[in-house]
Amino acid sequence: MKLILAQPRGFCAGVVRAIDIVERALAKHEAPVYVRHEIVHNRYVVENLKAKGARFVEELADVPAGATTIFSAHGVSRAVEADAASRRLNVLDATCPLVTKVHNQGQRYSDLGRTVILIGHAGHVEVEGTLGRISGPVHLVEDRDDVERLDLADDTPIAYVTQTTLSVDDTRATIEAIKGRFSDVIGPETRDICYATQNRQTAVRKLCQHVELLLVVGAANSSNSNRLREIGAECGIPSYLVADGRDIDSEWLAGKHTIGITAGASAPDVLVDDVIAALAKLEPIEIEALQGIEEKITFRLPPELLEVS
């Protein structure tokens, strides 16, 4: 059985930074350190940090006054930020810089007097944070049908921003619908879209040209991991989302000789290795890495953690 690995796959710079912030905070302040929401959407990562002393909460009300508190990579609303300040929490912000960039873009557009349209998934924690960062009119849409249902005049000055775990390909039809309906529309350039989301989706499309089956390593609540599986299916390849090697069903492999493997941006290499090991127990394997983009982007840590190793 031949295994072909997508490139790039797995952790992006924003996830690396967020996990590093939690680990350094634990080293500096000692346990417990409180994290609002899962730091990234991966159960293995969360459980590993719990074992080191991190405590994950959904509401700041569950954090003792004055405690060290970390905002997850997905970002938070201004209301959450204000609540933390009022309770004198020692906050470390692990929001991905690319998410912060979306927040800032949205606010700049609003300050220009434009109605902001956020393209994203209702209920996603990043979307909830972004909606709560923009003062002024903002409307959430998931697809072109939502655009048509907006109760706005067609000459309304519009600006759009997107959830970072959506790629250029994911949002193209919705952006076209916005531009088709409204006469005055501006939005971010293509290069402002999250590099990690786009790179991983492009890599999966390339991978699907060479394989008979696709395994996506990632969590069920990971938006970008689910999208990678969907892309595999759109390419006509049987595609499955697996948390680790235990999720593999040997029946999937019947008659398949070339298996593609990728991982969502919040899935660590150790889980990819676990999937490979599980496949190796079923039959002899040969591993090949597909050529692709080598990501070298890194994001700076908060200044107060730079000296902590």
Tokens found for residue 220: 């069920």
Distance, in Å, from the CA atom of 35 to the CA atom of 49, rounded to the nearest integer, reads 10
Domain over 98-191 is classified CATH 1.10.10.10: no
Distance, in Å, from the CA atom of 297 to the CA atom of 206, rounded to the nearest integer, reads 22
| Residue range(s) occupied by CATH 3.40.1010.20 in the chain | 2-10+195-289, 98-191
Query: Cis before residue 32, ω within 30 degrees of 0?
Result: yes
Tell me the DSSP string of 72-110. -TT---HHHHHHHHHTT-EEEE---HHHHHHHHHHHHHH
Q: Taking 90 as the threshold, does the pLDDT of residue 190 lie above it?
A: no
Q: Which fold has domain 2-10+195-289?
A: Cobalt-precorrin-4 Transmethylase; domain 1 (3.40.1010)
For 31, 40, 56, 61, 70, the CA distances from 66, given in Å and listed in that order, are 14, 24, 16, 12, 12
Distance, in Å, from the CA atom of 125 to the CA atom of 26, rounded to the nearest integer, reads 24
Helix axes 13-29, 97-111, angle to 10 degrees: 110
| Residue range(s) occupied by CATH 3.40.50.11270 in the chain | 13-96+300-305
Q: Taking 90 as the threshold, does the pLDDT of residue 189 lie above it?
A: no
Active site residue 126: yes
Average pLDDT over residues 300-307: 94
The reported pLDDT for the residue numbered 106 is 97
Which tens digits make up the pLDDT trace of 116-169? 999 999 999 999 999 999 999 999 999 999 999 999 999 999 999 999 989 888
Q: Taking 80 as the threshold, does the pLDDT of residue 112 lie above it?
A: yes
Q: Which residues, 6 or more positions from 264, have their beta carbon under 8 angstroms from its beta carbon?
A: 10, 42, 200, 216, 217, 218, 219, 222, 224, 225, 228
Tell me the DSSP string of 1-13. -EEEE-SS-S--H
The reported pLDDT for the residue numbered 167 is 87
Closest listed residue to residue 225, CA positions, set 210, 211, 214: 214
Per-chain mean pLDDT for the chain: 96
Domain over 13-96+300-305 is classified CATH 3.40.50.11270: yes
In the structure, what pLDDT confidence band is assigned to residue 23 with cuts at 50, 70 and 90? Answer: very high
In the structure, what pLDDT confidence band is assigned to residue 301 with cuts at 50, 70 and 90? Answer: very high
Task: Kindly name the residue from 126, 148, 286, 304 that is annotated as catalytic.
Answer: 126
Say how many residues make up the chain: 309
CA 268 to chain centre: 13
Contact criterion met (CB below 8 Å) for 223 and 265 = no
Which tens digits make up the pLDDT trace of 241-262? 999 999 999 999 999 999 999 9
Which tens digits make up the pLDDT trace of 27-71? 999 899 999 999 999 999 999 999 999 999 999 999 999 999 999
